Structure 1
Amino acid sequence: MKPADVCIAVLVAVIWGLAFVASRIALNEFSPELMTTLRFAIAAVPCLFVRRPDVSWPLLIAISFTLFLGQFLAQSIAIAQGVPVGLTSVIVQSQALFTIGFAALLFAELPTRMQTIGIAIATVGLLMICGTVGYDFSVGAFAVLMISPVSFAVGNLLLRRAQDVRMFDLFAWLCLVAAVPLFALTLVSNGPQPTWHALTQMSLTGLVCMLGLGGISTSIAYWLWGRLLRDYTAAQVVPFALLVPFVGSAASSVAFCETFGPLRLAGMVTVVGGIAVMLLSRRAQTLPKIA
Structure 2
Amino acid sequence: MRPLDLALALLVVVVWGVNFAVIKTGVGEVPPLLLGALRFLLAALPAVLLLRPPKVPWRLYVAYGMTISVGQFAFLFSAIHLGMPSGLASLVLQSQAFFTMLFAALWLGENWRASQLVGLLLAAGGLALIGSAHGLSMPLAGFLLTLAAASMWAAGNIVTRAVARCGPINQFAFVVWASLVPPLPFLALSLLIEGRPAITAALAAFSLRSLATVAYLAWAATLLGYGLWTRLLSRYPANQVAPFSLLVPVVGLSTGWLVFDEALQPVHFVGGALLMLGLVVNLFATRLLAWLRNRA
Where on the TM-score scale, by shorter chain, does this alignment land: which range? over 0.9
Of 186, 191, 209, the match for 1:187 = 191
> 1:250 and 2:268 equivalent?
no
Offset from partner CA, 1:44-86 (integer Å, 9 cap, x none): 1111222222111222111111111111111000000011111
The answer for unaligned runs of 5 or more in structure 2 is 288-296
Distance 2:191 2:103 in 1: 34
Question: How many Å apart are 1:106 and its aligned residue?
Answer: 2.4
| Farther-moved stretch of structure 1 (58-67 vs 179-188) | 179-188
Distance 1:190 1:101 in 2: 33
Contact conserved, 2:95 with 2:147, CA < 8 A, in 1? no
2:86 corresponding residue in structure 1: 85
The answer for unaligned runs of 5 or more in structure 1 is 284-291
| Farther-moved stretch of structure 1 (192-201 vs 25-34) | 192-201
> 1:227 and 2:228 equivalent?
no
Matches within 5 A, 1:172-211: 172-211=176-215
| Farther-moved stretch of structure 1 (219-228 vs 139-148) | 139-148
> 1:94 and 2:95 equivalent?
yes
- The sequence identity of aligned pairs, in percent, is 36
User: Equivalent residue of 2:162, what SS?
Assistant: coil
TM-score after normalising by structure 1: 0.92
Paired residue type of 1:187? L
Question: How many Å apart are 1:276 and its aligned residue?
Answer: 1.7
User: Equivalent residue of 1:210, what SS?
Assistant: helix
Distance 1:5 1:116 in 2: 32
**How many aligned residue pairs are there?**
283
1:12 corresponding residue in structure 2: 12
Matches within 5 A, 1:244-283: 244-282=248-286
With over 3 angstroms needed to count, the CA separation of the structure-2 counterparts of 1:42 and 1:254, relative to structure 1, is same
| Farther-moved stretch of structure 1 (16-25 vs 259-268) | 259-268
The CA RMSD measured in Å over matched residues stands at 1.6
| Farther-moved stretch of structure 1 (127-136 vs 153-162) | 127-136
Contact conserved, 2:13 with 2:245, CA < 8 A, in 1? yes
Distance 2:101 2:188 in 1: 33
Distance 2:267 2:193 in 1: 36
With over 3 angstroms needed to count, the CA separation of the structure-2 counterparts of 1:2 and 1:175, relative to structure 1, is same
Paired residue type of 2:134? V
TM-score after normalising by structure 2: 0.91
User: Equivalent residue of 1:177, what SS?
Assistant: coil
Question: How many Å apart are 1:282 and its aligned residue?
Answer: 4.2
Question: How many Å apart are 1:188 and its aligned residue?
Answer: 3.2
Contact conserved, 1:81 with 1:137, CA < 8 A, in 2? no
Distance 1:207 1:43 in 2: 13
Question: How many Å apart are 1:202 and its aligned residue?
Answer: 1.6
Paired residue type of 1:271? L
Distance 2:205 2:87 in 1: 29
Task: After the TM superposition, list the runs of 4 or more consecutive aligned residues in structure 1 that deviate by more than 6 angstroms.
Answer: none
Question: How many Å apart are 1:181 and its aligned residue?
Answer: 1.4
Question: How many Å apart are 1:201 and its aligned residue?
Answer: 2.0
Distance 1:149 1:185 in 2: 20
Question: How many Å apart are 1:193 and its aligned residue?
Answer: 4.5
